[in-house]
Structure 1
Amino acid sequence: MKDWRLGLVLFLGVVIAIVSVARIVTDKPHSYEEQVAAATIMRPAAGFDALDSDSHLVRLNSWLGRHRIIVVFFDGEAGADQDTNLLRLRDRYAELQGHDVKVVGVTATIPQENRAAMERAGGKFPFPIVSDIDPQSPEGTLRIHRRWGRLNPANDKTLPGVFLIDRRGMVAHLGPVPKPENDIDQLIQSLAKK
């Protein structure tokens, strides 16, 4: 009777050891990209109202829940004519629009400077470029940049970034702020196929 129990314990020990070794061998450490993707969650996009280059009010909330939206934060000091993301989106806008994708650029420069940059780029852009300047707002200037995590906390300089809002009005977040897309070309390709 004792030999049978001892044999069972030895057999179970060998099975546990084999399963443990198999788990260690096949459970490879996750890459940084996989860890970031696992930490990414979808949350409602922060809407905003701002003036475009023609001083017309653009309301992101009017698009939320109805369209896919690309929001592009860019360095207004360099100008819209120097931002490669804006220029790529301008060149492919007709194709994106055919797939019900809206685009809006966000900058910290005034509408007149945005108009001048667009003229240098060959004329108006087919999508609005809004100015994140509202001295009358209780949140102050750069409120959109703050809500979207596009301010460097060390020096309050604006940060570039491209974000995709889905048709439900949701945007990927990494922690408390939206997570920018890594590759604008890949984003455009995926949206143009849908």
Structure 2
Amino acid sequence: MDTLKVGDKVPSFSAIDQDNNTINLSDYKGKKLVVFFYPKASTPGCTAEACNLRDNYAELQGQGYELLGVSADSAKRQSNFRNKYEFPFPLLADEDRKVIEAFGVWGPKSFMGKKYDGIHRMTFIINEEGVVERVIEKVKTKDHAAQILEGV
């Protein structure tokens, strides 16, 4: 797995969100961006993580952050997830895994002794110039906003 690291420039990307709108990295030029990757919409850990970010969204925005959630789910599944929990941020439907692979978060995993390839739950904090400022590899799903706001 060749994950982006602190100091790396984020490669340009575009993908559709839950409403089939095209979202480009360039849309966030000049803004601080939090890109959080999660394995699957509407699963317990992913729901806890996204709801924690929703509940602290005003504070994150107050610190100048925009948020973007990414998984390999379909736009319909992302739309259902977003609508059910009323997330105020877009969720990318990266079914072809272009964004996931650009960030290097697809790779070997294991669960209950079973090995498989999948999305690693990771978050990237990107500065106004599109450079990775921080990488959170061990995401605390129920307290993720606090992790993002650490050191702000």
TM-score (norm 2): 0.76
Structure 2: gaps spanning 5 or more residues? 109-114
Once residues 58 and 94 of structure 1 are traced to their aligned partners in structure 2, the CA distance between those partners, rounded to angstroms, is 21
Name the counterpart of 2:92.
130
From the two aligned structures, give the one with the greater strand fraction. 2
Amino acid at match of 2:103: W
Matches within 5 A, 1:18-29: none
Q: CA-atom RMSD, angstroms?
A: 2.5
**2:142 paired with 1:180:** no
The Cα offsets for residues 28-55 of structure 1, whole Å up to 9 and x where unpaired, read as xxxxxxxxxxxx6412112311111111
Contact 2:38 2:69 in 1 (8 A): yes
Match of 1:169 among 126, 130, 134: 130
Contact 2:41 2:78 in 1 (8 A): no
Name the counterpart of 2:28.
63
Contact 2:39 2:118 in 1 (8 A): no
Question: Closer, same or farther in 2 for the Cα pair 1:45/1:189, shift >3 Å?
Answer: same
Once residues 81 and 41 of structure 1 are traced to their aligned partners in structure 2, the CA distance between those partners, rounded to angstroms, is 25
- The share of aligned pairs that are identical, in percent, is 24
Name the counterpart of 2:97.
142
User: Relative CO higher for 1 or 2, CA cutoff 8 Å, sep ≥ 6?
Assistant: 2
Paired residue secondary structure (1:156): strand
TM-score (norm 1): 0.61
Question: Closer, same or farther in 2 for the Cα pair 1:47/1:85, shift >3 Å?
Answer: farther
The Cα offsets for residues 37-96 of structure 1, whole Å up to 9 and x where unpaired, read as xxx6412112311111111111122213x0111000012254498432221111111122
Matches within 5 A, 1:85-124: 85-121=49-85, 123=86
Paired residue secondary structure (1:44): coil
Larger gyration radius, structure 1 or structure 2: 1
Aligned length: 137
Contact 1:80 1:114 in 2 (8 A): no
Question: Closer, same or farther in 2 for the Cα pair 1:147/1:108, shift >3 Å?
Answer: same
Once residues 79 and 116 of structure 1 are traced to their aligned partners in structure 2, the CA distance between those partners, rounded to angstroms, is 12
Amino acid at match of 1:116: N
The Cα offsets for residues 111-165 of structure 1, whole Å up to 9 and x where unpaired, read as 11112122332x3x111101112xxxxxxx2111111111114733121111100
Once residues 156 and 120 of structure 1 are traced to their aligned partners in structure 2, the CA distance between those partners, rounded to angstroms, is 28
